[in-house]
Amino acid sequence: MTSTTATSLSTPQRHEPLISAKGWLWIAVLGGLFVLLFRNFLFFMARVAWNESADWGHAMLVPVISLYFIHINRERVLSRPLKAGWPGLAFMLVGLLAFAVSIFPGRNDMLQGYSMVLCLFGMVWLVVGTPRMMILWFPVLYLVLGIKVAPKLWDHIAWKLQLIAASLSTVLLRIIGSILEFEAANRGSTIELSRWVNGRRVTEALNVEEACAGLRMLMAFIALGAAVAFLADRSWWQRAILVAFTVPVAVAINVGRVTVLGLLFLVDPKYAQGNFHTFIGMLMLVPALGLFLLVGWIVDHLVIDDGVSESRRSRHEAVRSAAPGSASTLTRSGSTPGKAWGVPGKGAMVGVVLTLGLIGIFALSLWSMRPELFGNSIFGGASEEGAASPAILSWLPEVLLVASVLIGAGVWLVVYKKMIRPIAADARKTRGLAMGVAVGVLLTATGGLNAVVVMTKTVLIKEPIPLRMSLSKIPSTIGPWELVAEDPPLPPEQLETLGTEMYISRTYADKSLPKDDPASIAKLHVTYYTGKPDTAPHVPDRCYVAGGMKPVNIRETTLHFTGPAYSSINGLWFAASQLPPGRVHLPSNQASATLFTFTGAKSTQAANVIYFFSANGKFLSTPEGVRLQGFDPRDRYSYYAKIEVLMPLVSDTQRAVERVETFLSYALPEVQACLPDWDKATGKKLPTQSNPVNRPIQ
């Protein structure tokens, strides 16, 4: 008896792993196929996190936190029964379709990311079942916090919070100023600090993240708060309180940050700029975490229920004591070893058929709306006699849309009745079937998406294209307009906000008018972007208001460019330029533009600014237009330049439009000469001209 006991004590116990080798193989296969399918978007988000690290650098940590949540809850997950979750298949397919639509015609990166997460949510639900999904829903949906929000939506939210932060920071600085003898005033997102230096009153301006930056690291604070809420074992209402506190904490931390920077600014302005400025922002994550932990401690002690606590302890004890090798692990398929891969193989066939039907619906719908994307249409190769009549083509899109829906419904009925239902009737086989379906869906979606991309010649990741020459080459004398002032280079933190180092900001004066004529002054601001993940929202109606200006009116207008330098050949417009190549191709001799009228923070005198974009060989009036209309899905490259003209002394809108038209009629050819040669980039051959326009504008 004693020897037996000793032997048993000396022999180490062997425990089955929580997940078997076969389980890890399934995870590797499904994870690899998922990454392969969404590789372009994942690469896009990596670029965003790297290039915009101050705002979206936390995106790299979001997946790590999700995996950590799964790790600390792995025994809870594996203690629950493993079964197929067929509702997840619908979410998976809808996510795939939404992802394809958000590529084109949607052209929305945020929706691409959300569709990817929806597809992952459906896939996990499909292969692990509802009981386990009751735990795993959080780490999957948490990935949404790593997706870049659409600039228009993000800036609308962050801008409002930015103004709140600037106002509250001003209040704190006024209180501190009453002790340290300085004054603070708020103008939009700008804080003016005034003090007496050597008997002279000095007023300096401190921008809250500069006029357009928004509330920095807002999403990082939200992600941090959600992690604190869910990584600890708490009730749903406690987690809800913690998540609700994320935005107030973000505002409070930013108020503290701005206040500290304001005080440092009074000591030495360089402390509110550059690397030290960035360091202060990163340092604020420490008190942010402290605040979240404090709120968590408070909500944990609001209600103490011994019964609930004991129930939780019992539940965790039960989880820890659950046998890892039980039927709830991912290791047992419920079928005989010899037929282990038979059911997954049938499931893969189901996934292939369903996804092919989905791809067919998308392709037919896309072809019905934009047949030119597919090259020759179905009737493109027909002769004149056999070609379809306009009457047939007029109702063809509607027929294809209805047919695609009917085809999809038919495919689902056949697959469900002939393949899913017979196998699903045997509960032992449903898990292998579900994993096989997921593999078939991912494999077919990857091949199908690549096929549609090849057929439509869609370019998913645009390449940057350089300027023909630096914007600084724009002449200082353009017709009667002469350069009278040029803004100094922006400091590093403002360049980070602007999002580009390729820009000019100049003031020109019309020498043909008297010097005291308000209409003789025009300020030209041109910024150039290429290879960017998204369009930048740095437009006057946002930046000027954030800087303290008061909006009066905003509307769309049309600018007409005229003069002897302009000519038209076969419907194409050209203009003479002083810069090489001497003649530039213009999208048109007119452009839709945005007219913004505003007044100063302390003045009723109105001013007008007009801007538009030159993007991939088109003139467009808004950033949304650049994103939706500027970039053809077949374009290999992408660029856009904001062309902005401020008439600071002209309050009449009609007069402002006329003067901007006059100025740009001379300046626009020089700007276009610096921008990329889009015709060369796209391989477009332009008509020749017997007497080319290559003379300088007089």
DSSP 291-319: HHHHHHHHHHTT---HHHHHHHHHHHHHH
Task: Measure the CA angle with vertex 638, ends 610 and 95; round to 5°.
Answer: 105
Rg over CA atoms, the chain: 31
> Which of the four pLDDT bands, split at 50, 70 and 90, describes residue 612?
very high
- 135, two tokens: 């735990």
CB 571 within 8 A of CB 616: no
Instruction: Read off the pLDDT of each residue in 426-449 and give the average, rounded to a whole number.
Output: 83
Mean of pLDDT over the chain? 78
Confidence class of residue 418 from pLDDT cuts 50, 70 and 90?
low
In angstroms, rounded to a whole number, what is the distance separating the alpha carbons of residues 340 and 336? 6
- Residue 277 reports pLDDT greater than 70: no
Rounded mean pLDDT of 206-226?
Answer: 66
Query: Tens of pLDDT along 650-696?
Result: 999 999 999 999 999 999 999 999 999 999 888 877 666 544 444 34
Contacts of 151-160 with CB under 8 Å at 24 or more apart are 151/534, 151/535, 151/536, 151/537, 151/623, 152/537, 152/623, 152/624, 153/110, 154/214, 155/212, 155/214, 155/537, 155/542, 157/218, 158/214, 158/215, 158/218, 159/214, 159/542, 159/546
Give the span between the Cα atoms of 51 and 218, in whole angstroms. 17
The position carrying tokens 């080798």 is: 21
8-12, 58-62, 218-222, 561-565: range with highest mean pLDDT: 561-565
* CB distance 238 to 184 below 8 Å: no
What is the chain's length? Answer: 698
Read off the pLDDT of each residue in 545-563 and give the average, rounded to a whole number.
87
Q: Assign 538 a pLDDT band (cuts: 50, 70, 90).
A: confident
d(CA 434, CA 126): 6
Within a 10 A sphere around the Cβ of 672, how many other Cβ atoms?
22
pLDDT at 698 exceeding the cut of 50: no
d(CA 20, CA 17) in angstroms, rounded, equals 6
- Chain-centroid distance of CA 407 in Å reads 34
Going through 68-198 in order, the beta strands assigned E by DSSP cover 183-187, 190-197
Q: In the prediction, which pLDDT does 368 show?
A: 66
Asked if residues 210 and 199 have their Cβ atoms less than 8 Å apart, the reply is no
Tokens matching residue 90: 């619908």
| Gap between the Cα atoms of 186 and 199, Å rounded | 24
pLDDT-wise least confident of 77-81, 247-251, 301-305, 691-695:
691-695
Could you give the residue ranges of the DSSP H alpha helices within 151-245?
A: 151-180, 218-231, 236-244
pLDDT of residue 15: 46
**How many angstroms separate the CA atoms of 388 and 376, rounded?**
13
* φ/ψ of residue 89, rounded to 5: -60, -40
pLDDT at residue 694, rounded to an integer: 40
Report long-range pairs for 694-697 (Cβ below 8 Å, ≥24 apart): 694/576, 694/581, 694/582, 694/583, 695/565, 695/576, 696/576, 696/578, 697/478, 697/479, 697/563, 697/564, 697/565, 697/576, 697/578, 697/666, 697/669
Q: Which residue has the higher pLDDT, 526 or 463?
A: 526
Q: What is the pLDDT of residues 122-143, one digit of tens each?
A: 999 999 889 999 999 999 999 9
Cβ density class 268-298: b for 16+ within 10 Å, e for less:
eeebbbeeebbebbeebeeebbebbeebbee
At 95, which amino acid appears? G
Sign of CA dihedral 8, 10, 11, 13: positive
Read off the amino acid at residue 423: I
Does position 384 have pLDDT exceeding 50, yes or no? Answer: no
- Over 80: is that where the pLDDT of 87 sits? yes
Calpha distance 651→604 (Å, rounded): 10
84 band by pLDDT with thresholds 50, 70 and 90: confident
The secondary element (H helix, E strand) that includes residue 657 is helix 653-674
Cα separation, 676 vs 584, in Å, equals 11
The 8-class DSSP code of residue 523 comes to E
**Whether pLDDT at 319 is above 50:** no
Convert the pLDDT of each residue in 240-260 to its tens digit.
888 888 888 878 887 887 888
SS3 content of the chain, % helix, strand, coil (to 5): 55, 15, 30
Whether the predicted pLDDT of 4 surpasses 60:
no
Are 524 and 667 within 8 A, CB to CB? yes
Answer with the residue of higher pLDDT: 30 or 200.
Answer: 30
Q: What average pLDDT does this structure show over 521-539? A: 82
Is residue 294 within 8 A of residue 47, CB to CB? The reply is: no
First to last CA, the chain: 113
- 479-510 burial, b for 16+ CB within 10 Å, e for fewer? bbbeeeeeeeeeeebeebbbbeebbbbbbbbb
pLDDT the model gives residue 279: 67
pLDDT at residue 114, as a whole number: 95
- The domain locations on the chain are 17-148+343-376+390-456, 152-297, 471-682
pLDDT of residue 672: 95
**Alpha-carbon gap, residue 519 to 548, rounded angstroms:** 24
Q: Could you give the CA distance from residue 543 to residue 541 in angstroms, rounded to a whole number? A: 6
Q: Which amino acid is at 550?
A: K
Helix, strand or coil, per DSSP, at residue 375: coil
Q: Is the pLDDT of residue 211 over 70?
A: no
